[in-house]
Amino acid sequence: MSDDSRDHADVQSIARELEALSDYVTTLEDRVEALEAECDRKDDRIDDLEADIDDLEQQLTECESRTSQTERAAKAALRKAAANKDRVRELQSRELEKGAHLRTDTIDPHEIEVTGDHLEKFTTDDGDTYYRVPDSSDPIDRTDDVALAHGDLLPIQQLARMDADMRRSTANSLPTRLAARLWQARADPTRGDDPWTDGCKSVAEYVTASDLKHWIRRQEDGISETYAKKLVSRTIDAVLELSKHRLAVRKRTQRKNGLEYTERRLVLPTDAEIPGETRASSAGPETDSSTEAIATGSGTASGDS
């Protein structure tokens, strides 16, 4: 083979190698472009994830803040519930020691502190079950009254049975407290200063507006006559509301010194349905012979009495 032929063959070989190298370089360039595009997509995805992380961190901070607020509110609610439970327990203990009969489903005898540390469980003829202090008298110390649970009484009866401190913490309004004391003066003859007057026919008892005004001034020191007149109307309204309108207001025409005038009367009708007070011939429910002594506080039941 001549020198020219060999040179031509070498040139062709080199041309083929260069072409192959060019194809390889093109392939590499395409691959680099694809990788760069993929990296760009990953960078975008990372940016999106970082933005999501920022949002999630902000939401987490807000959730932690709300959780803290909820925990504080829950703790406050628990403290309030515990305080209310203590007040209810104290009220129930006082009512039991006053002779109240409380339904068994409204009281935990093991959390009640009463004199003697025992309660008696009994069932009435109608099937209702109650707790009471053994050998206790009826709730409002009237010989013809029926012993009822505190919740069965009218609101005015419940207030009337409280002591002054508890009544003041329960009722913020002076007319409400006066209404309770007015009812207490009627229901408990040992209280003294009773402005009520026995009625006749359809009226069991009544108190006139003028007598009520004088009574209020005796009850509250420093009350002017003008303010006492205002308190008369407000006290009467409170009595009507707290008695669930078992009482009524009636006007009666009177004559004095030759002059005729009309005066209001707060009236308790003879047919008024007052829990625990029997005005008709019907007798209250009798208890059966089955009673059970229950230890209060941390004690246990001591068996049938």
* pLDDT tens for each residue of 69-94: 999 999 988 888 888 888 888 888 88
CA dihedral 32, 35, 37, 43 (to 10 degrees): -130
Tallying the residues shown for the chain, one arrives at 305
Chain center to CA of 154: 18
User: What pLDDT band is residue 129 in, cutting at 50, 70 and 90?
Assistant: confident
Which string of b and e fits 236-249 if b means at least 16 CB within 10 Å? bebbbebbeebbeb
Average pLDDT of 26-53?
91
Q: Which residues contact 269 (CB under 8 A, 6 or more apart)?
A: 202, 203, 204, 247, 248
User: What pLDDT band is residue 305 in, cutting at 50, 70 and 90?
Assistant: very low
pLDDT score of 303: 38
Q: Of 95, 189, 112, 188, whose CA–CA distance to 149 is shortest?
A: 95
Mean residue pLDDT across the chain: 81
Between helix 209-219 and helix 225-242 the angle, nearest 10°, is: 110
Percentage of residues of the chain with pLDDT beyond 90: 32
pLDDT in tens, 238-294: 999 999 999 999 988 877 766 777 889 999 999 999 887 755 433 344 444 455 667
